[in-house]
Structure 1
């Protein structure tokens, strides 16, 4: 069941989406600007152990997950899942209130 959105609701949703995309690109920019510094610090302080790889991989995985969420690519935790979960919680709350 698709609900009819007013123009203001559609504008709000579009505005929210643009904000999420902008935040992802900011995250990506910080990742790209910070990691060369981390690499240089690692190579200057302890060139025998490449610990910067752990930083790159950990933060990189977080960045990938952020991008997947923003661009609605994962098969889990997308808008349809959110709507289904909201309906499920509301239904449980409604049932709980009828028993009180």
Structure 2
């Protein structure tokens, strides 16, 4: 089976990268604001909790973009196997 990337697949991957960059930018902006607010108020270090929790989500979002969604090739092979059955 020859794997060729189509325009739609390339477009989807670019959209996923852009989505991750937007997610990362918002994460950094919001958490910078929370840290500054925390420093301004002088309370205990509560701003680390949203940073940690949201950071886990950003990490896995980035991981899914970088690894090119490994389940996708498995899905493509299954689709190709089904198509081969009917040819």
TM over 0.5, shorter chain: yes
2:16 is equivalent to residue 23 of structure 1: no
Structure 1 residues 55 and 10, CA, compared in 2 at 3 Å: closer, same or farther?
same
Checking the alignment, whether the CA contact within 8 Å between 1:69 and 1:78 is kept in structure 2 is no
Please list, as runs of the form range in 1=range in 2, the aligned pairs for 1:1-100 lying within 5 A after superposition: 2=1, 10-45=6-41, 47-72=42-67, 78-81=71-74, 83=75, 87=78
Task: Select the structure with the greater relative contact order (CA < 8 A; seq sep ≥ 6).
Answer: 2
Q: How many residues align?
A: 79
Given the two structures, how large is their TM-score scaled by the length of structure 1?
0.64
* Structure 1 unaligned spans of 5+: 88-100
Taking structure 2 as the reference length, the TM-score comes to 0.72
What is the CA distance between 1:3 and its match in structure 2? 6.0
- Over the aligned positions, Cα root-mean-square deviation in angstroms equals 2.7
Long gaps (5+) in structure 2: 79-87
How far did 1:42 drift? 1.9
